[in-house]
Amino acid sequence: MKTKYLKILLLAIISLFLLVGCAGGPLAQSTPGLNANDTHVFLSAVNKVYKIDLENGMEVWRYPADNTRMVTYAPVMFQDEEFIFGDMFNKLHKLNIDNPLQKSWESTDAKGWYQAKVAESDGIVIAPNTDRNIYAFNSNDGSLLWKHEDNFAFISEPLIIGQTVIISSQNHKILFLDLKTGNEKDQPLDMQGAVMAAPYYIEETGYIYVGSLGNEFIAIDAKSHKIAWRYDGSIEKLSGIWAKPIYLQGQLIFNDDKGNIASVDPYSGKENWVMLEQGKMLAGLAAVNDNSFIVAAEDGSIKLFDIDRKPLLQFNIEKATIYTTPLVTEKLILIAPVGAEYTLYAYPIETTGMPQWTFKPTK
């Protein structure tokens, strides 16, 4: 009997050592996904998508309602009465907004995770996947139209301008693909680092704006696909840029992951002002109204500034880590932290730092 115990003990000790080592590795974490229409907010968090009433924060439905295995962080994309989102079990779903059990289609063509929000134009859904492919599906039936392969996972939302798909690549490039065929319409634009942020287009200027992990923020001419200007302001060395900029009263405002915030002229890149190191920040900025914007730092601190960077308000969500860019609707500022008491916090636009409602999924 002693031998038996010795065996079990030895195995347990070795397993423990190994598992301790294994547990220290990075987990498949990601950032909660948020999107809203006029009446509801859709939250993609961990293993469900929740439809929540914007008026009172009540859950309308959750998908899947049962214990079907799913992990999703990608924000949903609305298309008429339906919505499309991808999960981390390689599936892309198109479901009815009012009743998610009414499924239009489900695609299992991809082999990796869908981490980003998909884009749609002309009946074609463009879905980036971590299996190093960008997929194009027929929006009506989910049939695969084309796929474009590269060397790295695609994890940011595509931008569609006319018949061109513009997508950030971790292969230090911006790709320009034909919407109908997936072929390259133009030579990829070389960047100095991996491009994690989704490209942002302002029709008025005709430029696409994007930053990378290579200490750069650039404007690209949407027609020629050439660099129009490169940020060269008073921030000595930009850190990694993970989020889209915002456009507010003629100012283009962007942030890096050290919390450096810069306002530039969108035509020339000339700097208007900067605020240095406002706290670690993966999330982007969000315009609250014509005159102010909100900054959500990773440590859970929320700051509101006016367009001339005058601080208006600061408050904190306890124990929160914020990775997701706040979402601003007509009446609410929505913040989806991780690690906090609630999964979603809704503040009135004229906020005082007190939430109007909070949401936590019931078991």
Residue 192 found at the interface with another protein (CB under 8 A): yes
- Looking only at Cα atoms, what is the longest distance across the chain? 81
CA distance 347 to 324: 15
Residue 4 found at the interface with another protein (CB under 8 A): yes
Q: 17 Cβ partners below 8 Å, 6+ apart?
A: none
Which segment (4-12, 95-103, 141-149, 182-190) binds another protein by CB under 8 A?
4-12
Nearer to another protein, 109 or 265 (CB): 109
Task: Yes or no: say if 325 and 296 are a contact pair by the CB < 8 Å rule.
Answer: yes
Residue 6 found at the interface with another protein (CB under 8 A): yes
CA distance 182 to 176: 9
Element at 201 (helix H, strand E): strand 200-202
Residue 69 found at the interface with another protein (CB under 8 A): no
**Between residue 225 and residue 244, which ones bind another protein under the rule CB under 8 A?**
240, 242
Residue 78 found at the interface with another protein (CB under 8 A): no
Beta strands 216-221 and 207-212 are: antiparallel
**Between residue 107 and residue 126, which ones bind another protein under the rule CB under 8 A?**
113, 115
Nearest distance from residue 266's CB to another protein, in Å?
A: 26
When binding is defined by CB under 8 A, the residue of 43, 196, 238, 346 that contacts another protein is 196
Residue 30 found at the interface with another protein (CB under 8 A): yes
Residue 72 found at the interface with another protein (CB under 8 A): no
When binding is defined by CB under 8 A, the residue of 92, 127, 155, 177 that contacts another protein is 155
Task: Yes or no: say if 197 and 246 are a contact pair by the CB < 8 Å rule.
Answer: no
Which segment (5-13, 98-106, 265-273, 309-317) binds another protein by CB under 8 A?
5-13
When binding is defined by CB under 8 A, the residue of 49, 213, 222, 328 that contacts another protein is 213
Six-digit token pair at 193?
């680092």
Q: 337 Cβ partners below 8 Å, 6+ apart?
A: 300, 317, 320, 321, 322, 324, 343, 345
CA distance 125 to 137: 5
Which segment (6-14, 89-97, 138-146, 349-357) binds another protein by CB under 8 A?
6-14
Nearest distance from residue 229's CB to another protein, in Å?
A: 21
Nearest distance from residue 26's CB to another protein, in Å?
A: 4
Closest CA to 245 of 227, 229, 224, 261: 261
Q: Evaluate the CA torsion angle 307, 309, 313, 318 in order and state its sign.
A: positive
Nearer to another protein, 31 or 139 (CB): 31
Nearest distance from residue 112's CB to another protein, in Å?
A: 9
DSSP class of 66: S
CA distance 250 to 271: 12
CA angle (108 as vertex; 104, 112 as ends), nearest 5 = 130
Nearer to another protein, 91 or 280 (CB): 280
Alpha carbon 114 to its chain centroid, in Å, reads: 11
Nearer to another protein, 212 or 263 (CB): 212
When binding is defined by CB under 8 A, the residue of 99, 143, 151, 181 that contacts another protein is 151
Element at 160 (helix H, strand E): strand 159-161
Binding site for another protein (CB under 8 A): 1-4, 6-7, 10-11, 14-15, 17-18, 20-22, 24-26, 28-31, 113, 115, 130, 151-153, 155, 170, 172, 192-194, 196, 213-214, 240, 242, 257, 280, 282, 323
